[in-house]
Amino acid sequence: ITALQTVRTSVNNTFDCEGGLIKGSDAAGVAGIQVNHTGWNVTNCKIQDFAVGIDVLEDSAGLAVSNVNVTSSAVGVRFTEASGSELTDLIINGSSSYAVHFAGSTSSINISSLDIVGGGVTTYGVYYSGGANTGTRIEGLSATVSGAGHHAIYLAGDAHDSNLIDCQGGVLDGDDASGAYGVLVSDADALTLRNCTVTDYQTGIRFTGTSTGSLVEDNNVSSSSVSGVNVSVSTVTASNFYRNAFCGSGGVLDAWDADTNAWLNNTCDESGGWAWCEYDCVGAGRVNDPPFVVSISLSPSTPLSSDDLNCSFVVADNNTYDTIRANISWFDGGVYAQSTDIAIINGTQYSSALSSASTQVGDNWTCRVAPYDMQDAGVASNVSSGTILQGCGTITADYTLPRSINSTGSCIVAGADDITVDCAGYAITGPDDAVSVGIDFNGRSNVTVQHCTIREFGTGVEADSGSVNGTVLNVSLLANNVQGVMVFGASHMDFDALTINLTATTSSADGVVIENSSNISLSDISIYEGVSSPGGLIVRSSQAINVSDLFVDIEEGSPVVLGGLVGGDAVSQVEVRGLSGYLRFGSASFVFVGIGSEGNLVDCQGGVLNGEGTSGGSEGFVFLDASDTRVQDCVAREFDYGLATASITEGLLTNLTVLNLTINGTIGYALELAGLQDSVLSGIRIANASGAQVIRFSDGAQGTNLSDLVVEDALGGVLFESGANTQNRIENISMALSGAVYAFDFEDEDQDANVVDCQGGVITGNDSSGGGGVRIVGADNVSVSRCTFVDMGSGVLASGTSTGHVFSGINVSSSALIGMNLSESSVTSSSIINSSFCGSAGAFDAYDYDSNDWSRVTCDDDGGATVCKFYCNGTLRNIEPVVSGVTLAPAEPLDSDELTCSFTISDEDATDALFALVTWWNGSSEGYEELVGVVNGSQASASLASTNTSAGEFWTCQVTPYDEYEYGDASNSSQAGITANVTACMTILSDAVLTTDISSPGATCFLVNASDVTVDCQDHRVYSDGTGLDRNAFLVLQDNVSIVNCVLEDFAGAQV
C-alpha cells in the first residue's frame, strides 16, 4: 500500500519525515507518497523500494517537495496531469526505469538541484513521454546514466514543447555505450538546453524527427564516442546553437547539422565540424573563406511587360559546412527598388522573381546577388534584363510577338480596329484557369490573329459582341479549360487552319462554340483529345455558319452540336462539309441537330465518323424536332445507333434528306426513325449490324421514303411499331440477315398503308424458324412488291384483323416453314398477284384461311385452297372458263342504234380473274375487239356504238371467255341487219324505215336507186312544202321495190 496518500479534503498540509525512511517492498503500482490535492509540503524524507517514489497526480497545484532522497525505486518522481509544483534538493539513486518521469499532460513543474545517480540501472534520467508536457524547468541538474540505449535526458514525441533544462554546470556522465545519448530530442519543439557538461556518450546531444525552435547554448560536450552534437535530419529547423564546445569526439565530426540552423561562436576540433564552429578546441579562431557567386542569369532573355523576371544564381563556399545566405536586390535603371534575403545551400541553384506588376514597357532591370556567411561577405554579382517589351495587354496597332509569353491572366486584347496580331509562331501560355482569355477581339472590326499557339487559358480566342470581319489564321489552341474558340454575338468572322487540343485541366473543354452569331466561316479545323467534353463544334442560336474540312477526335461529348434541347438554341443555314473523326467513348452523338433547327446541311464528302465500339448508347447522328435538314456522303462506323430521330412535338421533325449514308457495326438500330415525317433517305448501306432490328419506324413516322437500301451481315431488318407509322415507302432493297427476326415487321394495327417495293432486290435469311420475310399483325393496306425472299423461316405472314394488302411480284424460296401464310380468317380483302412460293419445308408453300384474291401465283402445295395457278415446275393448274347466253339487241337495229352484246361467263376455279374477249363481225369481216373484265356467273355486256355501223350491214357478236391463263370456247350471237333510219328526203339504196313525217323542200323527195329494197313509212306522211315545185314523193329506178304504210300528199306530179 501507499505510505502516504492524500484524500480529497486533505489540502495545505505538511508531511515532514525529519530524516525518517519510508520503505516499501517493490510492489507493483505502489508509491511511497502519492499527491493529488493542492498545497502539500513534503520535506526531509527518505523513500526506498517503491514502484514510484513520489507520484504527483492531477489537482496537486502548490505542491512543494524539498530535501528528499529516493533510492531503489523503479521511478523516482512521476508527474501525471500535474501542474504548479516546486521540487528542490532531490537525490534519486538507482531507479530501474526513470529517475524523473513527465508522464503526460504536465505543465509548470519546477525542479532545482536535482542529482540523479543511475549507473547502469536507470534507463532514462529525465524522461518526457505521453501527452503534452510543457513549460517545465529543471535547474542545477547532474546525472550519471550509463548503459546501451540509456539517456540522461530524453524528450520522446512532438507534444513536449517549451521546456527548459539548465544544468548550471552540472555533469551528465555516461560510459560511451552504444546508442546512448546525453540529451535526445525527438520531435519536441522549443527546448532550452544550457550550461550542461556532457561526457562519455555515443553522441552528447542529438536532435531527430520534426523539431524546431530550440536553443542550445553554453554547453560543453566532450569525449563522445561518435559526435558531440548531431542535428541528424533536415526537419530539425530554426534552432540556435550558441557558445557551445564540442571537443574530443571519436567520430568524423564533433558537430553536424543536416539543415541550416543558426550556429554562432561554437568550438570544435579541427578534424571536423568547421561548418558550425568558429573556434578550435585549443582556442584558435578558424580561418574563413567568404562565399562567392558561381553563376548568375536573368530570364526571360527577351522580357515582356507581362513576364515575371527570374534571377537565377549559384553561390559556393570553400568552407563546405558554412551557413550561407544571399541578398538579392533589384534595380531599375540603376535605381534601387526592392530586395530579399534567403538562406541557401552551398552550390545549389536558386532563383528570385520580380513580378510583372512591378515592371512596365521600357524598363531596364538589374538583379544583384550579394552572398555572405556567418563571418564574411562575398563579392556581389549583377545581371541585367535588357529593355522590357510589350507583352500581354491592350494592343492598338499591328503587333508581332517577340517571343513566347506566359500570362497570369487574360493576355492580348484588341484595342483598335484594323490591326494584326502576329504571334510569329510563338506561344501564349495562360494561368490554367477557367476565366482568362488568350486573345480577345473585344468587339473590334477587321482584326487579324495569325500564327499563334495559345494554351492553358479559360478561352483561347474570343470574338464577342460587335466583333466583325475578323480573321483567325494558322492558330493552335492547346489545353484551354473552357473552350478553344468562343464566338458570341459576332458576324462575318473567318477561322482557318486551327488545331485545337482539348486536353485541359478541367477535362471538359469545348473546341469551338458559336452563339448568337451569323456569317461565320471555319475551314481546316482539327479538334482532338477531349475528355468529357460537351462538344467539339457547338453552334447555338446562330445562322449562316459555314464549316469545311472539320476533323474531331474526342472521348466523350458530341463532336458536332447544332442547336440544343430547347427551341431558343435553334440554328439555321449551318453547312458542315468534309466532316470526319472519332467519338471514342460515352453516350453522345457524333452529330446532334436540336429542336427547331432548320435548313442545315452535313456533307461528310466521304468522311468517316468513327464510334470505336463505345457500347454506351452513342449515335452517329441525332435529329431532335429539326426540319429541312440534309445529310449526305457520310460513313458512320461502330456506333450503338447509326442515325436516330426523335420528335417531342408532332409535326416538327420533317423534311430530313439523307443521301449516300453508310452505317457499319451498330449494336442498336442503324436507323431509328422515330416521329420522322415527309422525309427522304436514299443510298443507305448498312453492314455488320448486331442489333435485333437494323431499322425502326416508330412514334408516328409518316410519309418517309427510304430507297436504295442495302443491308449486309445483320441480325434483323425493318420494324414498324409504337405509334401510328403510316404511308412510309421502302424501295429498291437488298438485305442479308442472320437473326430470328423478320425483314419487314409490322407489329400492330397502327402500322397501316406502308409500302415495300424491293424492285427486284433479294432478302436472304438463315432459315431461322423464328423469323421471315414479312410479318403483318393487325395492320391494314400494306403493299409489298417485287421482293425475293430466300432461306427465311416464313416468307410472308399476315395475322390479326388485317385487310386491304397487296402482295405483287413476291418470290419466296427455301423457307423453313411456309412461303405465304394468311393465317386467320380476319385477314381479308387482300391480293396476291404474280408471285411464287416454292421450296418451303413446312406443310404448305401458300395458305389462305379466308378467300383473298390470288392471281398468277405459283407454289407446289397450297393445302387444297387452290390459290396457286402454277406448280413450281411450270405446270398450269386451271379449268377453262365457259360462256353462255350470248345475245345481240336490238334484234332489228337501225343505223342509229347502239348494239349490245350480253353474255355470262362461268369458271369452276372460283379465285380466277375472268375476262371476255368480245369480237364484232360485220358479215364475215372482223370489225372491232375488246377485253372486258367480268364476274364469275354474272351476266355481262359489251356495246358497239352506232357510229361504227351503217344501214345495210349485218353484224354478229362473238364472245371468248378468258381467265388469265387460258381461253375457253367462243360463242356467237345471231346476226342483225342494219336498217336505215330515214328522217329527211334522200336517195335510198337499202331497206329504209321512216321514223317521222317528212316535208319535201322541192323536186323528188326519195330517189330509190337499188333493187330488192323495202321502204316502210310506218304510217308517216310524206308531203310537199306547198311551193308547187315538188314533182314526186318517190322516184323508183330499180326492180323489186316495195313501198308500204305511206301517206303521200300534195305533190305536183305522181305520188310514186
Cell 540552423, located at residue = 261
pLDDT at 809 over 70: yes
State the amino acid at position 830 in one-letter form.
S
Peptide bond into 300 cis (omega under 30): yes
pLDDT score of 615: 62
Instruction: Round to whole Å and give the CA distance between 44 and 41.
Output: 10
Output the pTM of the full model.
0.60
427-476 per-position pLDDT tens digit: 999 999 999 999 999 999 999 999 999 999 999 999 999 999 999 999 99
C-alpha cell at 627: 426540319
Per the DSSP assignment, residues forming a β-bridge with 220 are: 197, 245
Instruction: Round to whole Å and give the CA distance between 213 and 768.
Output: 87
Question: How would you list the strands of the sheet with 181-186, edge to edge?
Answer: 4-5, 31-35, 52-56, 75-79, 98-102, 124-128, 151-156, 181-186, 203-208, 227-231, 255-257
Q: Tell me the percentage of the chain whose pLDDT exceeds 90.
A: 68
Query: What count of other Cβ atoms lies within 10 Å of the Cβ of residue 1001?
Result: 12
SS (H, E, C) 63-109: CEEEEEEEECCCEEEEECCCEEEEEEEEEEECCCCEEEEECCCEEEE
Q: Which residues contact 874 (CB under 8 A, 6 or more apart)?
A: none
pLDDT at 705 over 80: yes
pLDDT band at 253 (very low <50, low <70, confident <90, very high): confident
Question: Which of 300-309, 716-725, 891-900, 967-976 is predicted least confidently?
Answer: 300-309
Query: Smallest Cα–Cα separation from 899: which of 970, 949, 953?
Result: 949
Question: Which of 220-224, 258-262, 707-711 is predicted least confidently?
Answer: 258-262
Query: Smallest Cα–Cα separation from 909: which of 869, 960, 872?
Result: 869
Per the DSSP assignment, residues forming a β-bridge with 1048 are: 1022
pLDDT at 372 over 70: yes
Per the DSSP assignment, residues forming a β-bridge with 352 are: 311
The average pLDDT across 132-158 equals: 95
Instruction: Round to whole Å and give the CA distance between 845 and 622.
Output: 43
CB 703 within 8 A of CB 724: no
Question: Which of 218-222, 899-903, 1013-1017, 1029-1033 is predicted least confidently?
Answer: 1029-1033
> How far apart, in Å, are the Cα atoms of 611 and each of 509, 557, 621?
20, 12, 11
pLDDT at 383 over 70: yes
Instruction: Round to whole Å and give the CA distance between 261 and 494.
Output: 63
Which element (helix H / strand E) includes 520?
strand 518-530
Q: Nearest 5°: phi and psi at 356?
A: -60, -20
C-alpha cell at 631: 445529310
Query: Smallest Cα–Cα separation from 544: which of 518, 510, 578?
Result: 518
pLDDT at 629 over 90: yes
**Helix, strand, coil in percent for the chain, rounding step 5:** 0, 55, 45
316-355 per-position pLDDT tens digit: 988 776 778 899 999 999 899 999 999 989 999 999 999 9
N- to C-terminal Cα separation, the chain: 184
pLDDT at 273 over 70: no
The average pLDDT across 390-412 equals: 91
The average pLDDT across 179-197 equals: 96
Q: Got the DSSP string for 882-895?
A: EEEEEEEESSS-BT
- Look at 971 and 650; give whichever has higher pLDDT: 971
Question: What does R_g of the chain's alpha carbons equal in angstroms?
Answer: 59
> How far apart, in Å, are the Cα atoms of 318 and each of 27, 252, 321, 351?
62, 19, 9, 21
CB 554 within 8 A of CB 585: no
Instruction: Round to whole Å and give the CA distance between 1036 and 176.
Output: 179
pLDDT at 614 over 60: no
pLDDT score of 793: 86
| Beta strand 925-934 pairing with 914-922 | antiparallel
C-alpha cell at 495: 477561322
Instruction: Round to whole Å and give the CA distance between 103 and 692.
Output: 77
986-1023 per-position pLDDT tens digit: 999 988 999 899 988 777 899 999 999 999 999 999 98
For residue 317, the SS3 value is coil
pLDDT score of 1009: 93
Instruction: Round to whole Å and give the CA distance between 156 and 133.
Output: 10
pLDDT score of 1029: 65
pLDDT at 755 over 80: yes
pLDDT score of 631: 97
CB 14 within 8 A of CB 40: yes
C-alpha cell at 724: 401510328
CB 643 within 8 A of CB 658: yes
For residue 357, the SS3 value is helix
Peptide bond into 890 cis (omega under 30): yes
C-alpha cell at 318: 570553400
Per the DSSP assignment, residues forming a β-bridge with 70 are: 47, 92
The average pLDDT across 168-175 equals: 95
Instruction: Round to whole Å and give the CA distance between 869 and 292.
Output: 115
State the amino acid at position 935 in one-letter form.
V
CB 671 within 8 A of CB 695: yes
Per the DSSP assignment, residues forming a β-bridge with 831 are: 806, 853
Which element (helix H / strand E) includes 661?
strand 657-664
Per the DSSP assignment, residues forming a β-bridge with 986 are: 1006
All structural domains of the chain: 4-211 (2.160.20), 292-387 (2.60.40.10), 394-859 (2.160.20), 882-977 (2.60.40.10), 980-1049 (no CATH)
Instruction: Round to whole Å and give the CA distance between 107 and 111.
Output: 12
Instruction: Round to whole Å and give the CA distance between 191 and 1009.
Output: 163
- 892 burial (CB, 10 Å; 0-12 / 13-18 / 19+) is exposed
Residues, the chain, total? 1056
Q: Tell me the percentage of the chain whose pLDDT exceeds 70.
A: 96
CB 799 within 8 A of CB 827: yes
Count of alpha carbons within 13 angstroms of residue 1032, beta-carbon side: 11
State the amino acid at position 946 in one-letter form.
S
Count of alpha carbons within 13 angstroms of residue 689, beta-carbon side: 31
CB 700 within 8 A of CB 726: no
pLDDT at 722 over 90: yes
